[in-house]
A and B are shown apart, each in its own frame.
Chain A
Amino acid sequence: MTETGTEARQVEREAVLDVDLDRAWEAISDPDVLSEWLADEVDLEAVEGAPATFTFDGDERPGRVERVEERRGLSFTWEREEGRSSLVELRLTPCYRGVRISVRETDLGATSRVAARMWATPLARLRAVADLVPA
Chain B
Amino acid sequence: MTASTTDAVFAALGDPTRRRLVESLAAAPATATRLARDLPISRQAVTKHLVLLRESKLVSVERRGRESTYSLRPESLGEVTGWIESVGAEWTERLDRLEDTLSGG
Residue ranges of A at the interface with B (Cβ–Cβ < 8 Å): 2-15, 17-19, 23-24, 27, 33, 36-38, 80, 101, 103, 105, 107, 134-135
Which of B10-18, B24-32, B36-44, B63-71 is found at the contact surface with chain A? B10-18
Cα-based distance from A15 to B12 in the complex (angstroms): 19
Contacts of B101 in A (CB 8 A): 27, 33, 36-37
Convert B45-58 into 0s and 1s, putting 1 for each residue whose CB lies closer than 8 angstroms to a CB of A: 00000001001111
The reply to whether A27 and B102 contact each other, CB–CB distance below 8 Å, is: yes
Q: How far is the CB of B88 from chain A (nearest CB, A)?
A: 4
Asked if A11 meets B84 with Cβ closer than 8 Å, knowing A18-B102, A36-B97, the reply is yes
- In the complex, per-residue mask of B92-105: 1 if CB is within 8 Å of any chain A CB, else 0: 10110111111100
B98 A27 Cβ-Cβ under 8 A:
yes
Given the known inter-chain contacts A3-B57, A4-B57, A4-B79, please indicate yes or no for A9 contacting B94, CB distance below 8 A: no
Please, which residues of chain A bring their CB within 8 A of the CB of B88? 11, 13
Partner of A5, one of B8, B76, B91: B76
Residue of A4, A15, A23, A80 ringed by the most chain B CB atoms within 10 A? A4
Chain A nearest CB from B54 CB (Å) reads 11
B residues less than 8 Å from A27 (CB atoms): 98, 101-102
Q: Does B77 contact A (CB under 8 A)?
A: yes
Cross-chain contact B91 with A11 (CB below 8 angstroms): yes
B83 proximity list for chain A (CB < 8 A): 5, 9, 107
Q: Let me know if A5 and B80 touch, CB within 8 A.
A: yes
Contact B84 A101 (CB under 8 A): no
Shortest C-beta distance, B48 to chain A (Å), equals 13
Cβ of A101 and Cβ of B98 under 8 Å apart? yes
- Closest residue on chain B to residue A107 by CB atoms: B83
CB-based contact A103/B95 at 8 Å: yes
Contact of B80 among A8, A17, A23, A24 (CB under 8 A): A8
Whether the Cβ atoms of A135 and B15 lie closer than 8 Å is: yes
